[in-house]
C-alpha cells in the first residue's frame, strides 16, 4: 500500500493585504526569518520567497520589481542590485546562474495574508 507523505504546513498570519503595494513586494518578519511577499494584483496572485538575494547575500528581494517572462508568463522578481531574476513559482534563477531561492505558499483570507511554513 502506498502511503502519501504529507508535510504539515503551519499557516502564519503575516500582514494585511493593503500592507503590500499592488504589483510589488514587501518584507515580513517571521521569528528570525525575512520573507519577501509579493502582491501580483494584475494577476490576482500572491507569492512569497526568501528575502535574501543569493548572488551577493543581500536582504532586498522584496524591494525588487516583479513581472513575467516567456510564453508561459512565468512570474518573476528582479533583484534591485544586479537584476538577477528568479521564478516566483520554482525559485530558480532565470538569468543563467545556479542560484535557487526558497518559495513559500501564500493564502489570502479576507484582507489577511498567511504564509505556510513547514512544521
Residues that bind another protein (CB under 8 A): 14-15, 19-29, 34, 40, 42-43, 56-60, 63-70, 73, 75-76, 78, 80-81, 83, 85, 95-96
Which CB sits closer to another protein, 95 or 105? 95
Minimum CB distance to another protein, residue 81 (Å)? 7
- Burial class of residue 3 (count of CB atoms within 10 Å of its CB; 0-12, 13-18, 19+): exposed
Q: Which is it for strands 74-78 and 65-69: parallel, antiparallel or unpaired?
A: antiparallel
Which CB sits closer to another protein, 69 or 100? 69
CA 46 to each of CA 54, 66, 95, 97: distance values in angstroms, whole numbers, following the listed order: 22, 11, 22, 25
Which CB sits closer to another protein, 31 or 119? 31
Amino acid at each position: 500500500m502506498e502511503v502519501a507523505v504529507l508535510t504539515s504546513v503551519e499557516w502564519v498570519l503575516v500582514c494585511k493585504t493593503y500592507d503590500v503595494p499592488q504589483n510589488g513586494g514587501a518584507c515580513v518578519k517571521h521569528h528570525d526569518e525575512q520573507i519577501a511577499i509579493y502582491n501580483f494584483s494584475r494577476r490576482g496572485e500572491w507569492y512569497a520567497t526568501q528575502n535574501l538575494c543569493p548572488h551577493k547575500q543581500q536582504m532586498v528581494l522584496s524591494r525588487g520589481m516583479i513581472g513575467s517572462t516567456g510564453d508561459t508568463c512565468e512570474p518573476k522578481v528582479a533583484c534591485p542590485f544586479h537584476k538577477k531574476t528568479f521564478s516566483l513559482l520554482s525559485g530558480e534563477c532565470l538569468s543563467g546562474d545556479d542560484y535557487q531561492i526558497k518559495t513559500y505558499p501564500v493564502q489570502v483570507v479576507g484582507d489577511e495574508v498567511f504564509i505556510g511554513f513547514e512544521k
